[in-house]
Structure 1
Amino acid sequence: MRLIAGVDIGNSTTEVCVGEVSENGTLTFHAGSSCPTTGTKGTVENVHGIKTALSQAMEKIGKTLDSLYCVRLNEAAPVIGDTAMETLTETIITDSSMIGHNPATPAGAGQAVGEILVYEHLMRAVKDTPYIVAVSREHPYEEIAAQINLLADRLQITGLILQADEAVLVYNRLHKKLPIIDEVLHIDRLPDGVLATIEVALPGQTIRMLSNPYGIATLLQLNAEETRAVTPIAKSLIGKRSAVVLKTPGGNVHENVLPAGEIYLNGKETISINLDEGAEKIMKAVSAAGDIYDISGQSDTNVGNMFTRIKQGMSQLDPTSASDIRITDILAVDTLAPVLISGALAGETCLEKAVGIAAMVKTQKLPMQEIAARLKTELGTDVTVAGVEAVMASLGALTTPGTKLPLAILDMGGGSTDAAVISENGQVTMTHQAGAGELVSMLIETELGLGDRRIAEQIKKYPLAKVESLFHMRMENGQMTFVEDSIDPRFFGRVILLTENGYVRIEQDIPMEKIVQVRRDAKRKVFTANAFRALKKVAPCHDLKNISNVVLVGGSAQDFEIPEMLMEAFAEYRIVCGRGNIRGTEGPRNAVATGLVLSYIGKQI
């Protein structure tokens, strides 16, 4: 009797399968385990994680590591599934042309037009001129409200702009209700005497006039050329709860296209494509390049620096010479990124065009033999590098009930999406594509402006709900769920994540519907697009209609919505697609490790 362990070193997780082979060649699976990968995939730092996963699996069957007959490793080429975000446009404002805004608690509702009047200059105001009064935080809300009430009959005050977060406090004390905007950080930069317009939307709504160039033109009486000039302003104010636009003759607002740089795809021939062409054209160029040997970028540009940074990162992890480190695939995705507006007065951001890129990096030499030698020394047992990852995953996927040859697999991990087709005669065609779970997390983090990759990861993995009372919540699908025990008051009125360990509150004030939309769009852009791209490469005659069955394996196949998305996407091709259930017990995980154990039997025949 021999205990055989298969070890799959992944980008994020190291998985183990332990099987027992009898003297007559019968294989019995005993246990599986997983733990986080230590170090970058395919480097000697993986040894610690491998030993941890092996120990966990052996403990399940009451055995120690020295009971193992041999350990079989996948050929884990060092792959960096790196991601980067390159902004293609930026909005630049000079001469205090606008201060688009989105405070949490403006007060009042509607639009107001008038000259900016600094609070300290109230005594200079004249009777028949409309004013919007700007007040610094040096003045308490009681004083502001009392002074505005005192002057309400004598002056034509149409609105207020406050530096402190006190709009509601002032509004509640006014005899004549006005639209009030607060939390304007650099209120001292407001030019006194300049014509301005403000707008505050009703609760639950967004502004309508100032997010429309013709609305701004109506309020500030602009001509056609001036209306064209304020279009970037209107664009930056879309979705805001409140806003201010100033009419300054010397003001200049323009949308700048950043020099992102050229991408050079070295395949059958060298193809160049500019990053600012957008993701669709970039991916068409990647497809046209065929089998890509290396990808590089124009020197001293955003994209060139990104590719250089990725290769330098790999050279620090692997002793391979720099000339042997190659980027063999990229996935580009169009997105929007909140970027600080140059020249804005309150730290406002604007959603700018951007391209997210995932890159796959490979080296000429695999350090797997060094990993195997280190494990052999530390475990005192035979360790071999036994198989290519996609081939082993195909073998493991065949243990899913209801599958047969020919069969296609999609292995969706953290850094890459791998695909393979195994024909009826056992021939395997495979491909490795850049882009998977890490790129999805980056898109979620960027588009929602989270500034926290950890919460972006959780948003990717778990469904959402809105706590509407201490005893019920509204799920993201609209279903109302009631609970017997009172919900912690900290979650009341907040969007939460439903994790296996309890509720996690989303600290940012983002509507649940927007989070769901961004999450689903990110998954479609990455997983659905990459699934089609990968399967077309490995399908007979590169035609998806020649594939009848697809088994989804890997960590991302456990996602609560990705498999359903792919099932819908493949429906028109009449492809049977679903999560794998490796060995009938493991779900979509453990396919490669299981395949490594199965391949041992094949070697013995």
Structure 2
Amino acid sequence: MSGLVAGVDVGNATTEVVIVRYGVPVAWDRVVTRGPKGSPSSLAGAAALLRRLERGLGEAVAEVVMAPMRPVRTTTVEVPVVAAGTGRLRIVAAGSPTPGGEGVAVGRPLRLTAGDLPHGEDVIALVPRDLGYAEAARLVRAALDAGIPLLGVLAEGDEGRLIANRIGRPLPVADQVDVTAVAAADLVAVEVRPPGRPLRHLSDALFVAARLGERDDAPAICAELYDVSCAVVARFANRQADSVGPNAPEATIERAVADLSRVAATAGARAGTSRSRSLLVAEMSASAPAAPPVRLDVGSPGPAVSPGPARPDEDTARTPADRFPGGGTVPVRRAPSEAAAARAGALSTPGADRNSLVVDLGGGTVDVVGPPGEVVAAGAGDLLTAAVAAVLGIPRGAADWVKRGPCVRLETPHVSLGEDGSRVFLDSPAPPGSVGWLAVPGPAGPLPFSSAMSPAEWRALRLAVKREVLGATVRRALDALDSLGGRGGGSVVVVGGPAGDDEVLGVLARELPPGTVVGRGNVAGVLGHRYAVAYGLATGACPRE
């Protein structure tokens, strides 16, 4: 016997392997999980990682220890926020990232064409996407030269600045507007302010009531526009259908929950089960007015595949597993609980004690484990990525980098502005076209992601989203743990991949009683925060001297 034991943790996002000799870690590494957790490809990836570590040591392990594998499928749906009734007034655009010009204008909406526009009334020109910014600017200049009171421009594309720069006069130009919908209005108002400056007129209920009428409905419109710098409000001939009632938001969420349940049931049918472990409802509109959908996440057990021969619908907790995949002969021992292994590994952190509460942040779930028991809750790193992507309107691949920490704004090709107001000279010139954009360190250098807010604004919004997702999940888990007999009286040790986020400890501290000692795990004093489960698995079965 070599005395080497490998703890293998196949997670929803990454796979970690730790090899110990008599409880002391001698080799460890991690890779991205191949395919769903517990699938044959994920086990093959874990086996390849183990073989590589064995080659580095020059000897094979005597035993592999694994936990039951129940993959979590993170599914999100968008639930429209039920807004207050606004009568004939409607917000048709708000917060466009690329408006042009400056000012406020109210007039009749008319499509911009080569034909004559009326001389006797104020006009807001509508520019369809296929017209092009150069032709649109030419037609606007021609109308102004003819004395037509054209006061503002609404463009369907994202060419607001290009149009405004070619007009030669300071008209407000809003873009990314549904001009077909606006064309049906009898009156429209547009306001554009400098970047980062809030609206002055369309957030003023007296101004809206005086220029657009509908005094009783103006406050509801203005309440939605306090924090944006560009907006378009239209008045229609007919009142919109009254969608507000005492149970309207609840009914909307109930429909979304039913949709998620059908998704989970479909996944469960493929896996031979229809159980749904937990559901998270995260209200993003409170954190990000520009991103009003409610985000929902459901954790559904997918195919539970054992390390040894087993049917896809069987769980490693019930199925014998005697050999690790990949052609080897190493025996596999099952651990009863992944959460218990996480606790055992986390408590090896210097300064932790046996009464400490362990919070294991994963890709699909958050495991909160204390002396009285364990709670596994859906809504972790994957949902945070989805929420950031939704708030910013960027792909999830980019959101995975953007969510991690502070950003800078690229002020010039050589200077960046930090979230704390500091200016730093760049080691190399910023990428072409990225000046004026917020950026974070990405896999290939600076990763630009938004030009619509300041660094300080994104910091506040990012922390709010993390509290709404990670904080809410931990809060639910702590409440459930209380029902099992309390949380314990020691410190709180945070482990798992998202624990490496420098802002996570502050987010979680808000969910705990004041004065609670909260720290990041350092498994076995050398492994850091990621290897708690793998180390706990290995040491729970390792031979003793």
Q: TM-score band, normalised by the shorter chain?
A: 0.7 to 0.9
Of residues 47, 56, 63, the one that matches 2:43 is 47
SS at match of 1:519: helix
Give distance in 1, aligned partners of 2:83 and 2:123: 32
| CA distance in 1: counterparts of 2:177 and 2:426, whole angstroms | 41
Cα displacement (A) at 1:160 = 4.5
Match status 1:481 vs 2:424: yes
Shift of 1:166: 6.6
Instruction: Sort the Cα spacing of 1:105 and 1:373 in 2 relative to 1 into closer, same or farther, 3 A.
Output: same
When residues 110 and 590 of structure 1 are mapped into structure 2, their CA distance, relative to the original with a 3 A threshold, is same
Higher alpha-carbon deviation: 131-140 or 522-531: 131-140
> How far has the Cα of 1:39 moved from its partner?
3.2
Counterpart-to-counterpart distance in 1, 2:71 and 2:181 = 54
Counterparts in 2 of 1:449 and 1:172: CA distance versus 1, 3 Å: closer
1:252 is aligned with what amino acid? Q
Q: What SS does the corresponding residue of 2:473 show, helix, strand or coil? A: helix
* Residue in 1 that maps onto 2:263: 309
**Structure 1 unaligned regions, length at least 5:** 22-26, 262-273, 279-297, 340-348, 423-427
2:52 corresponds to which letter in structure 1? Answer: Q
Paired AA for residue 31 in structure 1:
A
2:21 alignment partner in structure 1: 20
Aligned counterparts of 1:120 and 1:80: Cα–Cα separation in 2:
51
Q: What corresponds to 2:309 in structure 1?
A: none
Q: How many residues align?
A: 531
Q: Which amino acid aligns with 2:259?
A: N
- Report the counterpart of residue 10 of structure 2 in structure 1: 9
CA RMSD, Structure 1 to Structure 2 (Å): 3.9
Residue 48 of structure 2: SS of its match in structure 1? helix
In 2 relative to 1, CA 396–198 (structure 1 residues): closer, same or farther, beyond 3 Å? closer
Q: Residues 412 and 258 from structure 1, CA distance in 2 versus in 1: closer, same or farther, beyond 3 angstroms?
A: farther
Query: What TM-score, normalized to structure 2?
Result: 0.83
Q: Return the offset for 1:431.
A: 1.8
Please say which of residues 96-105 and 593-602 is displaced more in the overlay: 96-105
Which residue in 2 is equivalent to 1:199?
191
The one-letter code sitting in structure 1 at the alignment partner of 2:297 is: I
Task: Give 2:470's match in structure 1, choosing from 506, 523, 527.
Answer: 527
| Secondary structure, aligned partner of 1:506 | strand
What are the Cα deviations for residues 392-449 of structure 1, in whole angstroms up to 9, with x where unaligned?
2222123212222222211111111112224xxxxx6222122211121222122223
Q: Distance in 2 between matches of 1:108 and 1:377?
A: 64
Report the more deviating stretch, 378-387 or 534-543.
534-543
Provide the C-alpha distance between the structure 1 equivalents of 2:445 and 2:202, rounded to a whole number of angstroms.
41
Report how far residue 42 of structure 1 moved. 3.5
Higher strand share: 1
Contact 1:117 1:131 in 2 (8 A): yes
Q: Distance in 1 between matches of 2:278 and 2:116?
A: 67
**In structure 2, what is the equivalent of residue 560 of structure 1?**
502
Matched, 1:472 2:415: yes
3-state SS in 2 of match to 1:487: coil
One-letter amino acid of the structure 2 residue matched with residue 505 of structure 1:
P
Instruction: Render the CA deviation track for 1:100-127: whole Å, top value 9, x for unaligned.
Output: 3555554443223344455569757455
Contact 2:437-2:451 at 8 Å conserved across structures: no
User: How do 1:235-246 and structure 2 match up within 5 A?
Assistant: 237=225, 239-246=227-234
> What amino acid is the match of 1:2?
G
Q: Please give the residue correspondences for 1:573-584 in structure 2 after superposition, counting only pairs within 5 Å.
A: 574-584=515-525
CA distance in 2, matches of 1:100, 1:377: 56
1:250-281 Cα deviation digits (max 9, x unpaired): 353655679989xxxxxxxxxxxx565x7xxx
Assess, with a 3 A threshold, how the Cα gap between structure 1 residues 60 and 472 changes in structure 2: closer, same or farther. farther
Asked if 1:408 is matched to 2:361, the reply is no
**Which residue among 526, 529, 534 is the counterpart of 1:593?**
534
The AA in structure 2 aligned to 1:431 is V
How far apart are the structure 2 equivalents of 1:97 and 1:420? 49
SS at match of 2:342: helix
Amino acid aligned to 1:250: N
Aligned to 1:346: none
| Cα distance in 1 for residues equivalent to 2:241 and 2:218 | 7
- Cα distance between partner residues in 2 of 1:449 and 1:599: 45
Preserved contact between residue 127 and residue 179 of structure 2 (Cα < 8 Å) = no
Instruction: Compute the displacement of 1:578 (Å).
Output: 0.4
Helix, strand or coil for the counterpart of 2:21?
A: strand
What are the equivalent positions in structure 2 for 1:96-115 lying under 5 Å apart? 99-100=92-93, 103-115=96-108
TM-superposed deviation, 1:368: 5.7
| Alpha-carbon distance change, 308 to 160 in structure 1, aligned in 2, over 3 angstroms | closer
Q: Which of structures 1 and 2 has the larger relative contact order (alpha carbons within 8 angstroms, sep 6+)? A: 2
Could you tell me whether the CA contact under 8 Å between 1:536 and 1:542 is conserved in 2? no
Report if the CA contact (8 A) 1:20-1:30 is conserved: yes
Q: How far is the alpha carbon of 1:466 from its aligned partner?
A: 0.8
CA contact (8 A) 1:229 1:253 kept: no
Out of 231, 250, 264, which is 2:238 matched to?
Answer: 250
Matched AA of 2:360: D
Matches within 5 A, 1:338-349: none
Kept in 1: contact 2:491–2:516 (CA 8 A): yes
After superposition, residues 320-359 of structure 1 pair within 5 angstroms as 320=272, 322=273, 325-336=274-285, 351-352=291-292, 354-359=294-299
State the alpha-carbon separation in 2 of the partners of residues 124 and 555 from structure 1: 61
The structure number with the bigger radius of gyration is 1
What does the per-residue CA deviation read over 1:13-51, in whole Å, with 9 as the maximum and x for residues that have no partner?
Answer: 221111224xxxxx4321111122233323444321220
Percent of aligned pairs sharing the same letter:
25
- The aligned residue for residue 432 of structure 1 is 376
Q: 1:43 to 1:373 in 2, by over 3 A?
A: farther
TM-aligned CA distance change 1:10 to 1:500, over 3 Å: same
CA-to-aligned-CA distance 1:115-155 (integer Å, 9 cap, x gap): 4455569757455x44445566385533531441232xxx5
How much does 1:73 deviate? 0.9
Instruction: Classify 1:550/1:235 alpha carbon distance in 2 versus 1 (closer, same or farther; 3 Å).
Output: same
1:503 corresponds to 2:443: no
Give 1:61's aligned residue: 57
Question: Whole-Å Cα distance in 2 between the matches of residues 34 and 181 of structure 1?
Answer: 48
- The one-character-per-residue Cα deviations of 1:191-217 (angstroms, maximum 9, x if unpaired) are 59x444332323432323224443311
Where does residue 217 of structure 1 map in the other structure? 209
Contact 2:182-2:234 within 8 A present in 1 as well = no
Whole-Å separation in 1 of the counterparts to 2:400 and 2:168 = 49
1:210-244 Cα deviation digits (max 9, x unpaired): 24443311223x2xxx2334556545555444444
Return the alpha-carbon distance in structure 1 between the equivalents of residues 126 and 219 of structure 2. Answer: 25
